[in-house]
Every structure is written in C-alpha cells, then in structure tokens.
Amino acid sequence: MDIDEADARRHLCSALRGQAECVADRWVQLQREQAALGSGMTEAELREEADALVEQLSSGLQGNLAADHVVTAHAGLRQAVIEMSLRRARRGAAPTATALAVLVLKEALLEAVQRETRDAASLFSAALLINRVLDAAGAMSFATYVEGREEIIRRQSRQLLETSTPVVQLWDRVLGVPLVGTLDTSRTQVVMENLLGAIESGEARVAIIDITGVPTVDTAVAHHLMQTVNAVRLMGADCFISGIRPPIAQTIAQLGIDLSAILTRATLSDALEAAIALIAAPAGQTIPVAGR
C-alpha cells in the first residue's frame, strides 16, 4: 500500500467511523431521488440495508486488504453486498439499477471525506480508493443479481413443471400422470421423480401415463417414455401408456420405434380398466401387452 492510498484509507475510515449515520442517510436520500434505484423498497428498508453495508465497509477498510479485494475477501462486506443484490433480485429490480444503487454510495462517501479534509491531493486519492472499492462492489452486486435471478427462474420453472405434470390417484394403488404439451428431458425428469415418489409413498402397483395431450411422438419422446416405464418397473410396479391415437400410432410405426414391450391402450379409460383387472388378477397371471 503506497503513502497516498494509506492516507486516503485513513481519511475514509475516519469519515466512516465518525459519520456512519450521515453517510447512510445520504445514501438513502440519493437512492430515493432516483426511484428506480430503490426498487420499490421503503425508506426503512433502505436505511437498514445502508447501515449494514456502511458498517461492513468500515470494517473491511480498517484491515490490510488491498482495495480491489476488500469486497471479495472481507466476509461481512461480501455478504452484505450479496444480500442486497438478492433482495433486489427478488423484488424484480433491473440488474443495472442494483449495481447503480451501490455506485451512488460513492457520492455519499466522497462528501464525508470532504468534511474530513480539504486537501486536493488527499481528496483525489480518496476518490480513487472509493472508486476501486465500490466498482468491485458494483460488479459483485451485478453478478450476484444475475445468479439470483437465474436461480429464481429455475425454481419457478421447476414449480411450473411440477404443476403441469401432476400425479393423481385414479384407483386404489393405481396412479395416473396426464401429460399435456411437449415432453422434453427436463419435464421427463420431473415426471419420473414425482411418479416414483408417489409409487413409493402410496405403495402403488400400476401407473398410467396418459399422452392424449402430447401433440407429437418422435424418437426422443418415445425414448423419454421408455425411460420412465423402465424406472417404474424397477420400483416393482406395472406401467401403461394410454392415449395412443391413430396419428401417433402411425408415426411410431413409420419411425420404427419399438414399444412392443410396453403396455399400451388407446384411451385412459381402457388403461384404467386394464389396470384394475391387473390388480385383481391372481398372482402370476399376465395380460396382453397391446391387447384391448
């Protein structure tokens, strides 16, 4: 650390210690003046956030960490920036607004340092130090925001998939999964997990996957279905696929997809009837794979 940076850090730390409330108040005011930066947060929420970040910033600068690494290496300051970013991500704020909310703290800090010294060289060094520290904080807040939003989107997508692929009990120890729309790898995984969990918890003996609402069946879709059927069988249950309409049957035949080992039925009612018969059948008795 050179003499100029040491002097700048001394003035900045002094300002943060003696003017912490003033700095936090000014930062809140600057955010309130630019409504987008506040992300719809109340003044009390902004003040609580400001107090936490200013306190951790003061703590981080009092150590020997290089200015470029204060934000990333000081655990308390890093956590304060991360929490601020995630809180705003959950509020739906824009990532640039979140980063700018951190950067406007520069003005509040420089004003505080000006109250400590009027020396031009010291103020210039302090401005450089503030820029280096808060530019790093702004970059971290932006990256954290993006990661946080992606996680929220992934969680919401997962919840949507689970909602769109319910497992319902059709009969005693008979489960049904009505599929509507495109069946891809992600959705197949959700179907499989939900169905296997329901088989285990409900001690089901038969599962019916109804594809009446699936617009097309290609090689990939057939592969996904066979994976699910095999997983169900490994759980000790039988599995029917219903909703094999004429166009789909024709497509499967033309593609040369072999579903001969899978129990299929034209309609859900046919599959349910066969499932009930299968449960009621004496041990060891089987039913035709593609019979109706």
Q: Is the pLDDT of residue 286 over 60?
A: no
User: How many CA atoms lie within 13 Å of 274's alpha carbon, on the beta-carbon side?
Assistant: 23
Per-residue pLDDT at 292: 39
Per-residue pLDDT at 3: 60
Lowest mean pLDDT among 61-70, 160-169, 199-208: 160-169
Per-residue pLDDT at 170: 94
Q: Is 168-280 in CATH node 3.40.50.720?
A: no
Q: Which class in CATH covers the domain with range 3-159?
A: mainly alpha
Reported as a pLDDT band with limits 50, 70 and 90, residue 236 is: very high
Per-residue pLDDT at 23: 94
As a whole-number percent, the residues of the chain with pLDDT over 90 amount to 40
Per-residue pLDDT at 283: 57
Reported as a pLDDT band with limits 50, 70 and 90, residue 133 is: very high
Average pLDDT over residues 266-291: 77
Q: Is the pLDDT of residue 24 over 90?
A: yes
Cα 226 to Cα 206: distance, rounded to the nearest angstrom:
15
Domain ranges, ordered by start, for the chain: 3-159, 168-280
CA 23 to chain centre: 34
Cα 212 to Cα 271: distance, rounded to the nearest angstrom:
12
Q: Tell me the per-residue pLDDT of 142-194, one tens digit each, with 9 for 90 and over.
A: 888 777 777 767 776 766 665 667 899 999 999 999 998 887 777 888 888 99
Per-residue pLDDT at 290: 47
> Nearest-CA neighbor of 193 among 170, 166, 211, 220?
166
Q: Which amino acid is at 19?
A: Q
Per-residue pLDDT at 96: 82
Greater confidence, 290 or 17?
A: 17
Per-residue pLDDT at 180: 85
Average pLDDT over residues 76-94: 85
Q: Which two tokens stand for residue 289?
A: 């794979």
Reported as a pLDDT band with limits 50, 70 and 90, residue 1 is: low
Reported as a pLDDT band with limits 50, 70 and 90, residue 66 is: confident
Q: Which residues contact 140 (CB under 8 A, 6 or more apart)?
A: 71, 72, 78, 81, 82, 85
Contact 61, 137 (CB under 8 A): no
Per-residue pLDDT at 39: 65
Report the side by side order of strands in the sheet with 238-242.
168-171, 174-180, 206-213, 238-242, 263-265
Contact 38, 46 (CB under 8 A): yes
Average pLDDT over residues 37-65: 86
